Structure 1
Amino acid sequence: MADPAPYLVIAEELRGRIVGGDLAPGDRLPSVAELGREFSVSPSVGARAYSVLVQDGLVISRHGAGHYVRGPESPDLLVRQHRKRSEDSPFAQGAAEQGAVGTWRHESTTASADAGTSVRLGITEGDPVMRTEYVYLVDDVPVQLATSWEPIAVTGQSMIVLPEAGPYAGVGVAARMRVIGVDVGDPVERVQARMATRQEAQALGMVPAGPVLFIERTYYDQGTGRPVETADIVMRGDRWVSVYGQPPAS
């Protein structure tokens, strides 16, 4: 009988360490490069070994953060990472890259800008805005909330006025704004950690209420400097890690 493939040998070795208690739930596992050095194989072989253990439910793969021993009550972490702009929804694209299905519920209504929103959008209090409420889900589980505001003066005469309707629904702010000739570049974000409000906890299924990442995000027209969209984003603190920057290409 032929010897098992090297990736299966590595998978069985790690399985033994996990089952035997040498590696506890939540422990970080060696990187694929470290596995390569330990077993004298290429990193791709180590990656295949981890794929086997992920499929078997013993290991969690956290994109950009490594591999961890799965705990009985530890949900997989999701990675929020700034990426090159595309025509797709950044949320759906990010979820798909992590082996999950990202969907969302939404409701858009016209509203009058309150004092805080008017300052963030550089408009007069009371000016009309399109307000959109979102609940984002990964594999049908709520993980993120958002409220976005866009000045009707910017989008009102175009088919993108409703963010989630028409031919450009669901493609993300950057792609929608390009339709009307606006290049928004990268958003400006203000990030803080706080406890979820009762309403947020209920919407996100957090019982009891726990920590969240709260992000104030604003997109600007790169040509004029004018704000064209601002949003409040609430992310479950136990489900998300935010990654900034990228390592150099090898």
Structure 2
Amino acid sequence: MREQPPYLRVADLLRQRIEERVWSAGDRLPPRAQLAQEWGVGENVVRRAQELLISHGVLEGRKGSGTYVAEPRERVRMVRSRERELSGGSPFRADMSALGKRGTWESRSDATVPAPAGIAARLGIAEGDPCVRTWYEFLVDDKPVQLSTSWEPYDLTAGTLVMLPEGGPYAGKGVVGRMAEIGVTVTHAIERPEPGEATAQEATFLGVQRGALVTRIERTYYSDKGRAVETADIVVPAALCELVYEVRITP
């Protein structure tokens, strides 16, 4: 019989300590170096074991803080409506504020990234045309609940104060507010939700099990000229979020 890989053995040891209440929900685990020395393995083995348990929802990683025993998570309601876009600022932050929670996000932008074929088609540009790509991890009370990758045509915002969505004086203002600052009026968005399963990478970031049910939303904003000004792929885990679409009826 083949010997169990070291990272699986360490994962079992981690589970055992949690089951024995050595660590309880919300507790921070000791540093990887300490665990590696105790169990006679390398730090990379401990890291891989922790990543496995994060994907299973047993542990959760907090950027810049460490690894913790996962706590039961309350589902948060996310409303998709016209009114949330017209409220000004970040719709996500407004949603969380209405629930009495703190909505924040981590982001990373890259300028002049060549548009893949699918993104180019959604933006109405040529494949390979430069875009500003921004990756987001949305947090509620410092815990991840949603991922998003946004693409904007580089020629639309190049040389302006809103070129980087999370940089400059209009950082965090949202697509509608930022575009208004350069004279572009966003009039509507189209969203296409589809069910899916979390990839290993998504599961690690979100602290859910690999293969957990998610809703993937393909969203594109359009200006009053009919031009697509931004498109995004949004990942919402069903275990953490309740998606609600509000439809206004005008008599």
Which TM class, normalised by the smaller chain length? 0.5 to 0.7
From 164, 167, 188, the counterpart of 2:166: 164
Which residue type is aligned with residue 135 of structure 1?
E
User: Matches of residues 1-250 of structure 1 in structure 2 within 5 Å?
Assistant: 73=72, 75-84=74-83, 85-110=86-111, 111-222=113-224, 224-245=225-246
State the 1:246 CA deviation.
5.1
SS of the aligned residue for 1:126 comes to: coil
Give the drift of 1:80.
Answer: 2.5
CA positional deviation for 1:232:
0.3
Q: In 2, distance between residues paired with 1:211 and 1:130?
A: 29
Query: Could you tell me how far 1:101 is from its partner in structure 2?
Result: 0.3
TM-score normalised by L of structure 1:
0.67
Deviations 1:24-75 (A, max 9, x none): xxxxxxxxxxxxxxxxxxxxxxxxxxxxxxxxxxxxxxxxxxxxxxxx9462
Q: Looking at CA atoms only, which structure, 1 or 2, has the larger radius of gyration?
A: 1
Whole-angstrom distance in 2 between the partners of 1:186 and 1:241:
23
- C-alpha contact (below 8 Å) 1:77/1:238 kept by paired residues: no
2:94 aligns to what SS in structure 1? helix
Alpha-carbon distance in 2 for matches of 1:92, 1:131: 21
Superposed CA offset, 1:150-205 (max 9, x none):
00111113110000011110011000011111111231000011111111111101
TM-score by length of 2: 0.67
CA distance in 1, matches of 2:184, 2:100: 32
The separation in 2 between residues aligned to 1:248 and 1:87, in whole angstroms, is: 22
CA contact (8 A) 1:86 1:175 kept: no
Secondary structure class of the residue paired with 1:241: strand
- Give per-residue Cα distances to partners, 1:218-249, cap 9 Å, x unaligned: 00111x21111000000111122222225779
How many angstroms apart in 1 are the aligned matches of 2:130 and 2:72? 45
Partner amino acid, structure 2, of 1:230: T
Cα separation, 1, equivalents of 2:189 and 2:97? 22
CA distances 1:81-101 after superposition (whole Å, capped 9, x unpaired):
324213311111100101110
Given the superposition, is the C-alpha separation of residues 74 and 146 from structure 1 closer, same or farther in structure 2, using an over 3 Å criterion?
closer
- Percent identity, aligned pairs only, is 46
| Count of residue pairs brought into register by the alignment | 177
For the residues of structure 1 that align with 2:222 and 2:73, how far apart are their CA atoms? 38
CA distance in 1, matches of 2:223, 2:206: 32
Amino acid at match of 1:144: Q
More RCO (CA 8 Å, sep 6+): 2
